[in-house]
Every structure is written in C-alpha cells, then in structure tokens.
Chains A and B, each alone.
Chain A
Amino acid sequence: MSNIETGLDYSKATELLKLCEQRACSVSEIALQRESQEQGVEPDVLLAKMRDYYCTMRESVTEGLAIEKHSDSGLSGGDARRLIAYASSENPLFGQRFARTIAYGFAVMECNAQFGRIVATPTAGSAGIVPACLLSLEEDEGLTEDQAARALFSAAGIGVLIGKNASFSGARGGCQAEVGSASCMAAAAIVEAKGGTPEQACNAAAFALMNTLGLVCDPIGGYVEVPCVSRNGMFALHSFEAAVMALAGVRCVVPLDDVILAMRDIGRRMPRALKETSEAGLAKTPTGLKYTTGKIVPESRDPT
C-alpha cells in the first residue's frame, strides 16, 4: 500500500502538521510510519536501524575528538581536541556544554576529512550538526538511544520537506542547502526531544533555515574542511538557538514552507562559482589559493 493510499504522504509542512493533528502524534511518528509504509518494513526494525546510525554518529565524534594529525590537505585536524580541552578547563565561556557541543560538530567533520566513517545527515558536508545536537542532549538532558533514534525521525520528517521542495546539494543550492538543511532538521529534532509540539518543531526548523539563507559553498581547495569544519560546530549551536525560540513560543513570521521555497529560490539565483566549485569566495582568497587545486584533471577539457 502506498503512502498516498494510507494518507501518510505529505510534501508541505502544513500537510505534515495536519497529519500530526489528525493522528495526535509527533513529527517523528509520522516520519517513522511513512518510512515503514514506503519500505514495507516494521517500525521497530527501522528504529533499530536508526539506533545503529546514532551509534555510528557517536563513534565518529569519539574518533574525531582523538585526532591529533592534520588531514592530507593540512586544512583541518586537532581542533575538536582543542575545543574539548577548553570545555574541560576551569571557567569556559558560557559553560562546558557550549564548547563541548561545538567540539562535537568539529569532531565529526575532522573524522570525515580523514576518511573515517560518518553518517550523512543529510550530507557529509553538514554531518556534524545533528550528531552534535543529539550528543549534547544525551549528555546533559539524559536523552536515551531510543529517544535519539526517534529524534532522528523528527529530523527526517522535516528533511522530506526539503528534499521534495528544494535540495540538499551544495552544488545546487550552496551551503544553505547543506548546513542550512541540517540545522533546520536538528532544530526540529531538539524541540521534539524536549517535548515540544509538532508546530513548535516546524517553527524551530523555520527559524534555523531562515537564518542560514544565502550561505554560499566556497570551500578552500575543494576540500570539505574550510569553512565546513568550523561551520558545523557553529551551526549546531544555531539549531539550539532556533529550538529555544520555538520552545519559548516565539513564532516565525515566515512559515517553514515559505522558508524552504526561499531557500530554493536563492539557491537557483546563486552564481555557479559559489556552489561547490571553489571558483570564488574563500577559495579564491590569497589564503585559499595557497592550497592546491581540487581538480582531478588539472587543465584539460574533453568536448566529447
């Protein structure tokens, strides 16, 4: 039976919220049921699979925090370690958790830059945000593995909206499509994990994405390291900010559906040079140019 027949298909946040209301359940539950229908797999099996992904995320953080050496490009490595050391220092700014959450975002991306295993949530270039948020919730709010798996379905439920109406690809929509989407999905996951309503989850998602609009993808040397590593650390906190606003009852004036449309529109208008081609921006600064070209074929052009 398809999702259309069972009424679980949605492509707009308004439809998703309606489903949540009709069934009196969370975004995560709708996402789980929808995936279960689509794949013909029992929800329990999917939750177990999601728990495994969460464990892989945690492993990537552990691996990243232990990294001491530089990546092949020399652009990253060792900073997650620095941040976690600062977090454990005597009087870290904004408390331990602040620096620790940033460290987790860094850790996944450093692990990724050194060919460790990560979970693309939703992409590799934005893989630090969701794990950093969930791990922070696990350590400081007592989130269990089962709850983390649920939270990942909240994130996935919002991801469906972006996938259907815009794009996750940096080459299509710039960094707003990657880090923006991750931050948007993470914000909703945080809200639901903290007991917020589906409406609050969508509000948090809208705030998070709205405030990443316009982010370009201009990685130095074509490596997914600068600015990607630090950006993942920073935007994990951005997701928490969005969640706080939504949980406080602040309503995003522009609803999530419209923010997603804006993201797509901006992505389309964004010049190709700023969409994962490393032909402009940070990649073309004097510093950026010091790092070798990211081209597989240096200067050839094959017209066939």
Chain B
Amino acid sequence: MVGPSSSHTAGAARIGLAARAILGLQPVRVKVQLHGSFAATGKGHATDRALAAGLLGFAPDDDRLKDSLRLAEDAGIAISFSETDLGEDCHPNAARLTVESSEGKSHRIIGWSVGGGSILVREIDGFDTRLAGELATLVLWHKDLTGYLAKVTTLYDCAGVNIATIRLSRTARGNTALTTIEADAPLPEAALSLIGGLVATRDLRAIPPLDSWI
C-alpha cells in the first residue's frame, strides 16, 4: 500500500473504491462526511487523498494516491469534506459518502475502516448492509415482493455460483428493499440480465472484488 495508515489511508481508499463501484461509474460530485478518528487525524493520515484516490478508481498501492486531490479535480470530480457524528455504535474510522453521477444518479454509503486496510460497507442508501468488498458482490435495489429472493438465488444456482453471504433489508413492508449478495464468483452476464428483467428489480450493480488479497 501507499500512504501513512492502513486504516486511514488503505481503508479509506477502499471506501472510495466501494462508493465508486456502487454508483457504477465515475462520480462528478461527492460529499464526504468524516466521523471520529477519520475527522480528527485524517489530514496527517492522508484520508482525504486516499478517498479521492478510491473515487478515481486507484488501488490502495497506486503511487498516484499522493496527488489524487489534484487528479480528481482534473478528472472533474468535485469533492467536499465535512465532519459529522455517526453515533456511538459507529466504528471510530468511518465516513459517509454521497456520490453523484453526471446524469444526476446518486447513492449514499457509510463505510467503516476496520483495521489493517479492511473495510465494511455498513449502509447503502440508508439500508443496513455488511460488505467487505473481497468477493464478487451483487447489489440489488428492488421492490419488497414475496418470492423475489427465491428467483434471484435460483439464478445463482442455475449459473453454478456459490453464495457466501446474503443480506436483505427494507424500509417498510412493500416498499423498496436492498439485497446484497457476496459470492465466490461473479454471476454471468445472462443471469444478470435476467435479474435486471425481473419486475421487482429497480436497479442492480455487479461489483468485482475491490482489489487483490491484502
């Protein structure tokens, strides 16, 4: 890795990568809210540069991390930083990122940097989740309908892809829900388009592992 702290730099870079991956393309506007130790010592630990590097799609060991704030500006990504308090239960190294694409699509994630550069995405658009970014991940925004998950998991079965974790959370009965699935391999294009074609699916994103081991 490059940068002073695995939690504050490598972990932060991965949180940036995760936010970019969940949006599905390079954001044009990003609001970063820093919590706890990220806010307190982020400058010395280059947390801002690391988040920008991740948003640019750079891996945590990319030399360009050093100049990423300028590179982000050159690439047309406007990043604003502020402090926030995400509450007692939140890990001390955490940030909330609101990413916006040029077409006005927007997502909000909360990422925890849990030590040694590992991360957990704990929230996507207000839904609880728990993604480490180490496996092939599928994020599904969908209507809360009976049998939806059964259809999706059947497609995993047909494709011969083994599911490692699965998590569904919803706001209220019949409203929008979010399902995240981590699997040992990515789902083939054909299966993805079948899931995308389900009536209840509102949006989906297939995310490869964020970066290689360690």
Could you tell me which A residues sit within 8 Å of B by CB distance? 39-40, 49, 53, 73, 112-113, 115-120, 122-125, 127, 163, 167-172, 177, 219, 221-225, 272, 275-279, 292-297, 300-304
Contacts and interface: CB of A to CB of B under 8 A. Distances in A.
B61 A117 contact: yes
Contacts of B201: none
A222 B41 contact: yes
Contact of A115 (B2, B81, B91, B213): B2
B133 interface: no
Contacts of A278: 40-41, 44
B159 interface: no
Contacts of B102: none
Given A117-B2, A272-B92, A296-B47, A124 B42 contact: no
A219 to B, nearest CB: 7
Contacts of B65: 115
Nearest to B82: A302
A201 B23 CA distance: 46
Interface string B1-34: 1111111111000000000000000000000011
A296 B42 contact: yes
Contacts of B6: 120, 122-125, 127, 168
B84 A302 contact: yes
Nearest to B7: A169
B93 interface: yes
B1 A222 contact: no
Chain A interface, >50% SS class: loop
A82 to B, nearest CB: 21
Nearest to B51: A296
A46 to B, nearest CB: 9
A42 to B, nearest CB: 14
A186 B154 CA distance: 46
B34 A297 contact: yes
A278 B8 CA distance: 14
Interface of B: 1-10, 33-34, 36-37, 39-48, 61, 63, 65-66, 81-85, 91-93, 113-117, 184, 213-214
19 contacts: A53-B214, A115-B65, A115-B66, A120-B1, A120-B10, A122-B6, A123-B117, A124-B4, A168-B6, A169-B113, A170-B7, A172-B115, A277-B41, A277-B92, A295-B41, A296-B48, A297-B34, A297-B82, A303-B84
Contacts of B117: 120, 123-124
Contact of A293 (B7, B43, B48, B113): B43
B15 to A, nearest CB: 14
Contacts of A303: 84-85
A222 B115 contact: no
Given A223-B45, A303-B85, 7 more contacts: A117-B2, A171-B93, A223-B44, A277-B40, A294-B41, A297-B81, A302-B82
Kindly list the 10 A-B residue pairs having the minimum CB-CB distance in the complex, ordered from nearest.
A222-B41, A222-B44, A169-B115, A223-B44, A294-B44, A224-B4, A302-B82, A171-B37, A168-B115, A120-B6
B39 A297 contact: yes
Contacts of A292: 43
Contacts of A223: 4, 44-45
Given A177-B115, A297-B81, A124 B1 contact: yes
A219 B37 CA distance: 12
Nearest to A291: B44
Contacts of A118: 1-2
B83 A301 contact: yes
Contacts of B46: 115
Contacts of A225: 4
Contacts of B34: 296-297
A269 B84 CA distance: 24
B82 A125 contact: no
A43 to B, nearest CB: 14
A49 B213 contact: yes
